[in-house]
Chains A and B, each alone.
Chain A
Amino acid sequence: MLDTEKYRIAVIGAGPAGRAAALSAATLGVSVDWYDKQDRAGGKLNEYHQLFPHRVKPETLLSGFRESELPAGIKKHFGIAVNRIETEQAQVILLSDNKVVGGADAVIVATGFDFFDARLKEEFGYGMYKQVITSADLEQILKTNPSALKKNGADPASIAFVHCVGSRDQQIGIGYCSRLCCITGIKQAIEVKELYPSASVVNFYIDIRAFGTGYEELYREAQEKYRIRFIRGRVSEASENQQYNIVLKAEDTLMARPLKLTVDWLVLLVGMVPSCTQVELDNKKGVDGETGFYDLADPLTGSRISGQEGVFSAGACNGPMSIPEAIASGRSAAMEAFNYIHSR
């Protein structure tokens, strides 16, 4: 048996994937250095209202991030933004703004994703029109102050969701599908409808990609129970009228006719893009040129980043991923990092 405790694995990122990786590595007996640019653990989980498709509160997950829940082998280094990794003689060196902040035998990068900057799709007027918000904004509103959706004290009469904003769009150079915006839109539409039952809620979609367990069921529930309308066609233009409502133009592709709709709120279901604080790797390799996410050496079975030694990645920094997928990916990266150290 190896004396595993003397080996160190660094985990960058304290979201669901990072936590799963850190916990799993600690369970395997390795010493873990856990980094995050923020002062607290949880990453984007802290900003969510409810998690799809079962609509549990993120707090139920976040409780597992508490200090008391962590094993002794994990050492936290929060508030440090590791943004560069170098490898030297089979050792990984972590740098923050060119200062060395630590080292390890292997590193698991779990830096997650950012929401697409909706201002780039300027035709939706995000950042110009007050009534145009993103799904991330709506999540915040639902979490902290749902009555912010009221207009002049009255319940909102109509809310439209646009799917695929910053996803599957060659115009902005994003060829991939963010996968999770569909179910987010379905979930948020239901939440809004529950809050304001009299509101007419419309989702404009290209395809509904309800791929996960329970997603299709939630989609159907949205249609049948909540009477949320799904119009196949993407909004391509939004403007403001005198009452500061948003006038949408889309095509109902099933009817092959253009349509116009005025809504109180336009919610842009923004896609997932690589985190802007993504860690730079040796030789600048390991990043997919098309998507900007990490490129895995063996995308079918592995977590090692291509062109790197001892550098693994977990979660949505590899591409759009749901929370359970990110957690599974974190665990598997820990196992792989552990095996890597042993086989050295």
Chain B
Amino acid sequence: MTKYWKEYQKEIAGDNYFYVRSCIRQNFFPGAENLFLNILRKDLGKKVFEDADHTTCTGIGYHTDIVPLETTMTVVARQFALMKEKGFQNIIVSCVTSFGLYSEILDLWKHQPELKKKIAGYLMDATGRTFDEPANMVHASDILYKYRHEIAAIAKHRLVNQRTGQPLRIVDHIGCHYAKTFPERGVGGSEFPQVLSGLITAWGGSTVDYPERRHCCGFGFRNYLVQENRGYSISQSKIKLESMQPYEPDLIVANCPGCAMFLDRWQYTLEESEGSVYGPSGLKIPVVTHEELAGLVLGYDPWEIGLQTHQVPVEGLLDKIGITYDAGRKYADRNGNLIGEPELINQHVC
């Protein structure tokens, strides 16, 4: 019958992955996906393949009613076809929206085999390719969860406040489409997912269980694509930020690119339009993705992995963890030449 939360544990393949990127992640957190591949390949020694031919999953278009479902399915089938052609069976999805969409499509195909057949026909007609469903499909954060202890073993830093010796208080935010539609596809199910809290505790931090923990960040494609509707989006982020504020979190970590982006950017917007600042002593709460969090504990250079592209400055966090960084290189290119600082740090408009 039905399982309760401790029983929601999923199978995560151990090696030989096919990787698909996220539109939003690579645009807003440009270092994150590369960092993830590096961690997998260099730190964990896993085989992971990224096909240059893979595309968007069309999730944004699908969720805004621009792209029909069958088109989306055919595009996803093409990704699977690429994976098959390259000889992989285990897929890692970078984006939570894509992950949810892939899960939904696989579920639809499971219940309507004729639909899958039809899509296979479309794919054959359009590209001449065939595809197999992946043997194992996980979100990128699931991989980090699986290897959290291995990472902890080789980590250079722990999520501990160096000044006080106390574990950092970290808010984990799971993208809605990670497990809310298909709880059995998430580590820990939908109500109490463990995928990020597992990383936090394994790396020395402590999680914050605040009342609106399960609330949506407000991202919702329809709600942010139209400017007038963004009030709905930001209002949801505000509910979350207000609820977590009393716990004085040191950091927010999110596995969904959209959530990470909005929880990061909306803090700026809320300050500008309402004067509200949710972090302690007038500083906002830094927001990082799961890859960036792993990168930090593994000792990657904050500016190498793109933390300068975050709206909320991360220097306070780096100081707490005890990560040394060159403040002068924050806005420098690979060769050390300054590419120009933002006119005012608060002038990033999303």
Q: Does B182 contact A (CB under 8 A)?
A: no
Asked if B164 is at the interface (CB within 8 A of a chain A CB), the reply is: no
Stretch of B115-123, B136-144, B211-219 on the interface side? B211-219
Once the chains bind, are A119 and B211 in contact (CB under 8 Å)? Answer: no
Q: Is B209 an interface residue (CB 8 A)?
A: yes
Contact: B2 with A120, CB < 8 Å? yes
Within 8 A of A (CB), among B167-210: 189, 191-192, 209-210
Q: Is the CB of A122 within 8 A of B5?
A: yes
In the complex, whether A91 has a CB less than 8 A from a CB of chain B is no
A283 within 8 A of B: no
The docked-state distance in angstroms from the alpha carbon of A119 to that of B2 is 10
Instruction: Provide the B252-293 mask, 1 if CB < 8 A to any CB of A, else 0.
Output: 000000000000000000000000000000000000000000
**Bound Cα distance from A74 to B250, whole angstroms:** 69
A239 at the interface (CB under 8 A from B): yes
A241: nearest residue on chain B (CB-CB)?
Answer: B211
Instruction: Decide: A239 and B212 in contact? CB cutoff 8 A.
Output: yes
Select from chain A the residue with minimum beta-carbon distance to B239.
A260
Interface contact B192-A128, CB-CB below 8 Å? yes
Which secondary structure characterizes the binding site on chain B? loop
On whether the beta carbons of B210 and A173 are closer than 8 Å, the reply is: no
A288 at the interface (CB under 8 A from B): no
Partner of A120, one of B4, B209, B211, B213: B4
With a cutoff of 8 Å between Cβ atoms, the chain B residues found around residue A242 in the complex are 210, 246-247
Contact bitstring B5-31, A, C-beta under 8 A = 1, else 0? 100000000000000000000000000
Asked if B226 is at the interface (CB within 8 A of a chain A CB), the reply is: no
The number of chain B residues touching the other chain, given as a range, is 10 to 19
Q: Report which of B1, B4, B212, B246 forms a contact with A119, defined as CB distance below 8 A.
A: B4
B contact residues around A171 at 8 Å (CB): 2
Task: Assess whether A335 is interfacial by the CB under 8 Å rule.
Answer: no
A172 contact set on B, CB distance < 8 A? 1-2
Distance of A237 Cα from B213 Cα, bound (Å): 11
- Chain B residues near A123 (CB, 8 Å)? 191
Residues A124-138 near B (CB distance < 8 A): 125, 127-128
Q: Nearest Cβ in chain B — how far from A52, in angstroms?
A: 29
Min CB distance A293 to B, Å, is 15
Q: Is A70 an interface residue (CB 8 A)?
A: no
Residue of A nearest to B1 (CB): A173
State A302–B247 Cα separation when bound (angstroms).
61
- With A122-B189, A128-B192 known as contacts, the answer to whether A239 contacts B4 (CB < 8 A) is no
- Contact size range, A: 10 to 19
Which residues on the A side are within 8 Å of B192 (C-beta)? 122, 125, 128
Q: Which residues of B contact A117 (CB under 8 A)?
A: 4
Set of chain B residues within 8 Å of A80, measured between Cβ atoms = none
Judge if A247 is at the interface, Cβ distance under 8 Å: yes
A240 beta carbon closer than 8 Å to chain B: yes
A239 and B2 in contact (CB under 8 A), knowing A122-B191, A122-B192?
A: no
By a CB distance below 8 angstroms, the chain A residues around B5 are 119, 122, 128
Contacts of B191 in A (CB 8 A): 122-123, 125
Q: Please measure, in the bound complex, the distance between the C-alpha atom of A209 and the C-alpha atom of B212, giving whole angstroms.
A: 32
Q: How far is the CB of A183 from chain B (nearest CB, A)?
A: 26
Question: A242-263: which residues lie under 8 A (CB-CB) from chain B?
Answer: 242, 247
* A240 contacts B4, C-beta separation under 8 Å: no
Q: Determine the distance from Cα of A96 to Cα of B4 in the docked complex, in whole angstroms.
A: 30
Q: How far is the CA of A245 from the CA of B2 in the complex (A)?
A: 27
In the bound assembly, the distance between CA atoms of A123 and B191 in angstroms comes to 6
- CA of A127 to CA of B111 in the docked complex: distance in angstroms? 34
Interface-centre pick from B3, B191, B212, B214 (highest chain A CB count, 10 A): B191
How distant is B171 from chain A, measured CB to nearest CB, in Å?
13
Q: Known contacts A122-B189, A122-B192, A128-B192; is A239 also within 8 Å of B214 by CB?
A: yes
CA distance A242 to B208 in the complex (A): 9
Q: How far is the CA of A56 from the CA of B110 in the complex (A)?
A: 55
Interface residues of A in 275-298 (CB under 8 A from B): none
Residue in A172, A241, A247 with the greatest tally of chain B CB atoms within 10 Å: A241
- In the complex, the chain B residue whose C-beta lies closest to that of A127 is B4
> Which one of A120, A122, A128, A173 has the greatest number of beta carbons of chain B within 10 Å?
A122
Closest to A239 in B: B211
Given A119-B4, A120-B2, A173-B1, is A247 in contact with B189 using a C-beta cutoff of 8 Å? no
Instruction: Return chain A residues, CB-CB under 8 Å to B246.
Output: 241-242
Given known pairs A242-B246, A242-B247, the reply for A247 and B211 (CB within 8 Å) is: yes
Residues of A within 8 A of B212 (CB): 239
Question: What chain B residues lie within 8 Å of A241 (beta carbons)?
Answer: 210-211, 246
Q: Give chain B nearest CB distance to A158 CB in angstroms.
A: 15
Contacts of A247 in B (CB 8 A): 211
Q: Given the complex, which residues of A lie within 8 Å of B247, measured CB to CB?
A: 242
Given contacts A122-B4, A123-B191, A128-B5, 4 further A-B contacts (CB under 8 A): A122-B189, A173-B1, A240-B209, A242-B246
Interface pairs A-B: 7 shortest CB-CB: A247-B211, A239-B211, A119-B4, A122-B5, A122-B191, A123-B191, A172-B2
Interface positions of B (Cβ within 8 A of A): 1-5, 189, 191-192, 209-214, 246-247
Return 16 A-B CB contacts under 8 Å, by A number: A120-B3, A122-B189, A122-B191, A122-B192, A171-B2, A172-B1, A172-B2, A173-B1, A173-B2, A237-B214, A239-B209, A239-B210, A239-B211, A240-B211, A241-B210, A242-B210
Which residues of A pack against B, CB within 8 Å?
117, 119-120, 122-123, 125, 127-128, 171-173, 237, 239-242, 247
